[in-house]
Amino acid sequence: MVDEATVRRAQRGDAASLEAVLRDLAPYLGRICGAIALDAGDDALQEAMVAIARNLGSLREPAALRGWARRIAVREAVRAGRGGRAIPVDPATLDPLGLDPRTLVPDGTTAVEVREVLAALRPEQRAVLVLRHLDGLDETEMAEVLGVARGTVKSRLHRARAAFRERWTA
Partner 1 sequence: MTAETWPTAVLRPIGRARALAAGLPGTAIQEGVIDAPFDRVWGFIADLERSVPEFDVDVARIRIVDRDGSRLRIRARSSWRMAGLPLGFDVDLEDGWCWMVARPRLYVVAMAAEPDPDDPGRTRYAHLEGITVRPRALARATRWRTRHHVASDVAGIERALGLRP
DSSP 84: S
**Within 13 Å, how many C-alpha atoms sit on residue 107's CB side?**
0
Spatial distance between the Cα atoms of 63 and 8, rounded to a whole number of angstroms: 10
Q: Answer yes or no whether residue 105 interacts with partner 1 by CB under 8 A.
A: yes
Q: Answer yes or no whether residue 54 interacts with partner 1 by CB under 8 A.
A: yes
DSSP 83: T
x/- string (CB under 8 A) for partner 1, residues 135-164?
------------------------------
Spatial distance between the Cα atoms of 16 and 58, rounded to a whole number of angstroms: 19
Q: Answer yes or no whether residue 167 interacts with partner 1 by CB under 8 A.
A: no
State the chain's maximal CA–CA distance in angstroms.
52
Pick the binder of partner 1 from 106, 136, 158, 166 (CB under 8 A): 106
List residues binding partner 1 (CB under 8 A).
Answer: 10, 12-16, 18-19, 22, 26-27, 29-31, 33-35, 37-38, 41-42, 44-46, 49-54, 56, 101-102, 105-107, 109-111, 113-115, 118, 130, 133-134
